């Protein structure tokens, strides 16, 4: 063979080897991975769990890397969120809509540290702790004592329900000073002080002539003396006489408005008025005309309400300046007045009823039957108690709707009523006693 022929043979052999290599590479590229049960995925790379040192993924988009392993991949970017395995996130799913967890949190046990913000409703069946961190809870969602009773609430070692205690002659008005009961004794010209917890008599103190109404100003007891036309101020702690102050003609009812004492003057010639005295020193502030025959007086937090027994109505005065804000018809011969936090209750002795008026505007919300000749009235934080002088009992009405909750026997001719935070006290003018219910 000539030299030229040998050269072309070599060239052809090189070409054949090159073509064969290209064909083989294309076949490998088209086949793709088929090991370990994976479906063929074209143009992808399959690595083992331990591909060896120096293996680094340079993926920037898309899914060019498939790790076919159940082992945890160290330093995977997802784990850089908190340095934990991603399984920790799966265990943290509890159904919260949105939660901003800043600080330590054990989500699997529902334990949180630091301030947490949760969007949506969180329902819990129980709390552990003293609740000191709970805020903005509506009062309607909190159970416990009636909020209107808190200022007077007292707890005693033993109940004295149904007990009766002797006082002076012809007891009329009654009030509570936070620890003791004070009773005005019309025929004895005294007031009796009883310890509310057990009814023990702590003293009898002289006042004016024919004491009738009585009120407490936070430190002192005020007594309206019907015949001597004045009021007596006694120090509640020990019954010491502080002073006596002139008022109008035939004073009966007394009330305290937080700064001043209001006295209903029943009789003519200085009657049909209420007198306003400064409680601190008894200075006369002013006298204001009301209806015919004022008897009972009550304060609603902003205004004074006066029951006019001969006018069959009540007068509403603004406490700050005595301006008359209206006269509202009630039943026959109204006498007692009480405020329940939203409404004014008036006893109508002439027709055996009580009238409920809305305090804001005097609207009549209803008239409710009670006993015979109702006179005294008091509010206990949830109910209205009425002393029926003609039937020797007291009636309990639910303040919210006037429903009759019961009638309870007391002494003879019950007149005044007071609440001590736990019990109702009733003066019985025919038996010279007070009953504790």
pLDDT tens sequence across 131-143: 555 555 554 554 5
pLDDT given at position 127: 53
- The CA angle 101-105-108, to the nearest 5 degrees, is 115
Q: What is the pLDDT at residue 198? A: 94
**pLDDT for the residue numbered 348:** 98
pLDDT of residue 104: 44
DSSP run (H or E) holding 414: strand 414-419
The top-level CATH class assigned to 164-430 is mainly beta
Domain residue extents for the chain:
164-430
Task: Collect all residues with Cβ–Cβ distance below 8 Å to 320 and sequence separation of at least 6.
Answer: 302
Q: Which tokens belong to 11?
A: 């060239």
Bridge partners of residue 287, in order along the sequence: 275
pLDDT of residue 12: 72
- 13 SS3 class: helix
Closest CA to 303 of 334, 344, 275, 356: 344
| pLDDT value at residue 270 | 66
Q: Find the length of the chain.
A: 437
pLDDT at position 267 is 85
Residue 53 has a pLDDT of: 52
Quick check: 419 and 384 in contact, CB under 8 A? no
pLDDT of residue 403: 97
CA angle 213, 216, 222 (to 5 degrees): 50
Q: Which residues of the chain have pLDDT under 70?
A: 1-7, 9, 11, 14, 16-162, 269-270
Cβ neighbours of residue 241 closer than 8 Å, sequence gap 6 or more: 205, 206, 232, 233, 234
């Amino acid at each position: 063979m000539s030299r030229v022929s040998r050269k072309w043979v070599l060239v052809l052999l090189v070409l054949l080897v090159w073509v064969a290599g290209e064909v083989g590479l294309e076949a490998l590229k088209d086949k793709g991975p088929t090991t370990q049960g994976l479906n063929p995925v074209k143009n992808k790379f399959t690595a083992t769990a331990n591909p060896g040192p120096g293996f680094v993924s340079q993926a920037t988009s898309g899914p060019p890397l498939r790790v076919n392993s159940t082992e945890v991949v160290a330093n995977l970017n997802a784990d850089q969120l908190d340095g934990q395995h991603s399984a920790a996130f799966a265990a943290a799913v509890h159904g919260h809509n949105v939660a901003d967890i800043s600080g330590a949190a054990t989500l699997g046990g529902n334990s949180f540290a630091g301030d947490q913000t949760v969007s949506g409703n969180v329902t819990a069946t129980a709390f552990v702790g003293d609740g000191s961190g709970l805020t903005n809870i509506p009062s309607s969602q909190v159970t416990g004592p009636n909020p209107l009773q808190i200022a007077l609430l007292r707890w005693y070692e033993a109940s004295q329900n149904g007990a009766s205690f002797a006082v002076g002659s012809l007891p009329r008005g009654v009030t509570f000073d936070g620890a003791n009961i004070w009773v005005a004794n019309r025929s004895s010209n005294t007031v009796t002080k009883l310890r509310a917890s057990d009814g023990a008599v702590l003293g009898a103190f002289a006042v004016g002539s024919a004491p009738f109404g009585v009120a407490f100003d936070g430190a002192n007891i005020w007594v309206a003396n019907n015949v001597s036309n004045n009021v007596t101020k006694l120090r509640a702690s020990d019954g010491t006489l502080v002073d006596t102050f002139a008022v109008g003609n035939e004073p009966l009812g007394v009330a305290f408005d937080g700064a001043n004492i209001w006295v209903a003057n029943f009789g003519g010639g200085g009657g049909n008025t209420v007198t306003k005295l400064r409680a601190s020193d008894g200075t006369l502030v002013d006298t204001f005309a009301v209806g015919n025959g004022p008897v009972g007086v009550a304060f609603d937090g902003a205004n004074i309400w006066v029951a006019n027994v001969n006018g069959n109505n009540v007068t509403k005065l603004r406490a700050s300046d005595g301006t008359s804000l209206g006269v509202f018809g009630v039943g026959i011969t109204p006498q007692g007045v009480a405020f329940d936090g939203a409404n004014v209750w008036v006893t109508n002795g002439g027709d055996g009823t009580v009238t409920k008026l809305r305090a804001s505007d005097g609207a009549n919300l209803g008239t409710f039957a009670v006993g015979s000749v109702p006179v005294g009235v008091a509010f206990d934080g949830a109910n209205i108690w009425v002393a029926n002088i003609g039937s020797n009992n007291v009636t309990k009405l639910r303040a919210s709707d006037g429903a009759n909750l019961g009638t309870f026997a007391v002494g003879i001719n019950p007149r005044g009523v007071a609440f001590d935070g736990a019990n109702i006290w009733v003066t019985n003018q025919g038996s010279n006693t007070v009953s504790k219910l």
